[in-house]
Amino acid sequence: MLNLHLGFGYLVVVGAVLALFSPQARRIELYVLLVQVVAGAALWVMQRHGPPVLHWVLALVAGGIYAMANAFERRGRPALQVRGLLVLAFVIVAFVFYLGQQAVKAG
């Protein structure tokens, strides 16, 4: 199950890069991130060993930022503002992935 969660983590990071350039990828990224959070929660319940708190809190924050960027784009906010939110979400996703990698290494 940890390998599945790690595999989805790679998809989330690649999706975050694609979301910087494509509006369709942003919507898909939200769904992939949701599946990743559910898989992580299932892993947490099955193994009875949780990830670092920052790992799952920031993952939820990144999902909110993607939703906010989509809403801003639909409402006609400046493209630079939407792009700034997407870059922030990418940085958070990359940091969450790094935290997960370190947690796996620590055992």
What pLDDT, in 10s, does the model give residues 2-48? 778 888 889 899 999 999 998 888 888 888 888 888 888 888 888 88
Note down the domain range covering 98.
2-106
Q: How far is CA 72 from the centre of its chain?
A: 19
For the four alpha carbons of 38, 43, 46 and 51, in that order, the dihedral sign comes to: negative
Q: Can you tell me the distance from the alpha carbon of 60 to that of 83, in angstroms, rounded to the nearest whole number?
A: 19
**What is the tens place of the pLDDT at every residue in 53-66?**
888 899 899 989 99
For the four alpha carbons of 91, 92, 93 and 97, in that order, the dihedral sign comes to: positive
Tally of structural domains, the chain: 1
For the four alpha carbons of 10, 29, 89 and 42, in that order, the dihedral sign comes to: negative
